[in-house]
Amino acid sequence: MSIDRSDDRYRSIVEAIPSAIVLVDRRRRIRLVNRKAEELFGYARDELLDAPVELLIPSRFHGEHPRHVAQFFAQPETRPMGAGRDLFGRRKGGEEVPIEIGLSPIDTDEGLCTLASIIDITERKNARERYEDELRRSNADLEQFAYVASHDLQEPLRMVANYTELLAQRYAGQLDDRADKYIHYASDGARRMQRLVADLLAYSRVGSQGKPLAPVAAGEVLAAVTHGLQRLLRESGGAVEAGPLPLVLADEVQLHQLLQNLVSNAIKFRSESAPLVRVEATREGPRWRFSVSDNGIGIDMQYAERVFQMFQRLHEQGRYDGSGIGLAIAKRIVERHGGTIRIDSEPGRGSVVSFTLSAARPEDAS
């Protein structure tokens, strides 16, 4: 292709493209632009032709830009520019505009050039920011409501539980079996409701009372969790094993709660065999993937999403203790840390719950 500015046919094609087009040579000089590029950047065409492309880039990016251009020409292929990064163009007046850029290599009579297709994403970015702000406000309102509602329920529940227990003690042997049974039902229901409210409070606090993320030794946190579960482990004959665990970016209190929920769940939903829980971590780029595996009863994978929802129980009430919110709290903690969580399981063959956390040091993420 010849970059002939008098070629009306080629010019009409370039002008018809709905995005800004900028053609750049190896020397980073602008060889061609269309009308959309003039409109986007505020320059006349004659001001852009033969000018360095850095004219359209904020000055803070000038130092790195030659290297990026050289990398493109070393491996010329069609691709988006700056994947995972916010990109900005610089208008004639100096103001910046958020953009998306697609790069394509173009062979011309003057050598290989880069064709940049540029889109102004200001409206999209503003809409996304408005949506994220509204979502944050909505989540904050929901967390506050859950906290206040749960906190205000604690005192009347405590009163119901205390007085039903007092009633059972004061009138022991004076009532018939049916009355004793009713009192037991009332006391048991109040205690279960207290646990449910406490779990709801814990769920709401994940977002509202979380601490800034900092380097945390996951192995030390697991050791503290295991120590706290000694009674449960003795009663079940269970054991917790662990491979080397890394340093991660986390809220230490929430990481403790996360591991405690997962390990205690693995012990609770055990099979006839003594529970064996193993915690391991493998590196995945900038993150660590933790796995908590067990030899318990397992679940059907059709319920793999449901188990992370609030108040979801796959077994009849009374067979296993708990409110059905432990994995929902675990998911909320992981997501607050920017990670993901999932379960892989098979009935009768145990489960593996895996989640990701960011590495605390660059060398841990290599």
> What pLDDT is stored for residue 43 in this prediction?
95
Where do the domains of the chain lie, and which CATH numbers do they carry? Answer: 8-120 (3.30.450.20), 123-209 (1.10.287), 211-366 (3.30.565.10)
> What pLDDT is stored for residue 7 in this prediction?
60
Give burial (CB, 10 Å; 0-12/13-18/19+) of 164. buried
- Counting as low any pLDDT under 50, the low residues of the chain are 2, 5-6, 365-366
Its pTM stands at 0.55
Distance CA 40, CA 52 (A): 17
Give the containing element (helix H, strand E) for 68: helix 65-74
Nearest-CA neighbor of 291 among 326, 338, 256, 342? Answer: 342
DSSP, collapsed to helix, strand or coil, labels residue 349 as coil
> What pLDDT is stored for residue 49 in this prediction?
95
> What pLDDT is stored for residue 16 in this prediction?
83
- Residue 131 is encoded by which pair of tokens? 């949506």
Cβ contact 290:280 at 8 Å: yes
**CB under 8 Å to 16, separation ≥6 — which residues?**
none
> What pLDDT is stored for residue 362 in this prediction?
61
> What pLDDT is stored for residue 314 in this prediction?
56
* pLDDT tens, position by position, 170-219: 888 888 888 888 888 888 888 877 777 777 777 767 766 678 899 999 99
Give burial (CB, 10 Å; 0-12/13-18/19+) of 108. middle
